[in-house]
């Protein structure tokens, strides 16, 4: 096998894993608690309460167990990108939705593990509330029990255990699906970590908020 073929196979494997968006966070709940100062992100704290959405009851998020910087908040953010652009800062574990007048809505995110990151420019291709999830064949080969969720079987039905959570935003580049998603997760403890197979995950309450704010097919910038 020559070097070019080897690299192509590695890239295909990484992309297949990326499409899974399903690696679980196994470090358990964070035991440390955080206090919120007057300057802390209090504006949206109430949004992390239990939510009834689409026929599902999303549990409340224990916000005191999450580092305050990863909770939703409006921040100052200077950029040349247009209002409505989404910027994902993989290194800092933040997602920014650009607003007018040098402001942005910032969300904490969980990112892909080393070796499965993606970066570059894309556009929102489409959005789905309570999406189905279909594991790629490579993932099914590693875990045959997932065969029941294959494309031929219709995928995993929407719900609280679905890896894509309450919402999914699908990213396209040059008219093609990048297999990269912005999606929800009930695993709030994974926010701020590198725990997935490549996709960007947000707390379910946050992906619902982002989903409602994203209009049309804006540009998405993912930077390492």
> β-strands 111-112, 194-196: how paired?
parallel
pLDDT at 21: 72
pLDDT at 15: 42
- Measured CA to CA, the distance from residue 79 to residue 93 in angstroms comes to 18
Q: Sign of the C-alpha dihedral, residues 60, 63, 90, 112?
A: negative
pLDDT at 115: 45
Give the gyration radius of the chain's Cα atoms: 17
- Which tokens sit at 35? 């206090």
Active site residues: 183, 199
Give the Å distances, CA to CA, from 177 to 31, 125, 171, 185, 187: 38, 8, 6, 21, 25
Q: In tens digits, what is the pLDDT along the chain, a chain of 224 residues?
A: 544 444 343 344 344 444 557 655 554 445 577 776 645 578 899 999 999 999 999 999 999 999 999 999 999 999 999 999 999 999 999 999 999 999 999 999 999 875 456 789 999 999 999 999 988 787 789 889 999 999 899 999 999 999 999 999 999 999 999 888 999 999 999 999 987 666 899 999 999 999 999 999 999 999 98
Q: Look at the pTM and tell me if it is higher than 0.75.
A: yes
- Which tokens sit at 4? 């070019």
pLDDT at 16: 40
Chosen CATH of 31-130+165-223 out of 2.40.440.10, 3.20.80.10, 2.30.30.40, 3.30.420.40: 2.40.440.10
pLDDT at 98: 98
pLDDT at 12: 41
pLDDT at 75: 96
The domain ranges of the chain are 31-130+165-223
pLDDT at 6: 43
């Amino acid at each position: 096998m020559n070097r070019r073929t080897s690299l192509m196979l590695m890239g295909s494997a990484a992309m297949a894993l990326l499409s899974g968006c399903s690696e679980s966070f196994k470090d358990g709940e964070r035991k440390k608690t955080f206090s919120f100062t007057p300057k802390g992100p209090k504006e949206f704290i109430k949004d992390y309460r239990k939510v009834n959405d689409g026929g599902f009851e999303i549990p409340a998020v224990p916000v005191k167990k999450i580092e305050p910087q990863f909770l939703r908040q409006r921040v100052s953010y200077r950029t040349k990108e247009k209002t409505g652009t989404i910027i994902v800062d993989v290194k800092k574990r933040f997602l920014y939705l650009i607003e007018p007048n040098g402001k942005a809505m910032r969300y904490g995110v969980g990112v892909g593990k080393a070796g499965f990151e993606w970066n570059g420019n894309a556009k929102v291709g489409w959005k789905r509330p309570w999406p189905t999830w279909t594991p790629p064949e490579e993932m099914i080969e590693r875990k045959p029990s997932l065969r029941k969720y294959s494309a031929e079987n219709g995928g995993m039905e929407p719900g609280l255990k679905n890896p894509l959570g309450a919402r999914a935003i699908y990213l396209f580049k040059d008219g093609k699906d990048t297999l990269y998603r912005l999606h929800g997760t009930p695993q709030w403890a994974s926010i701020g970590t590198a725990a997935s197979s490549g996709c960007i995950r947000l707390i379910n309450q946050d992906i619902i908020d982002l989903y409602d704010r994203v209009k049309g097919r804006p540009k998405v910038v993912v930077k390492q």
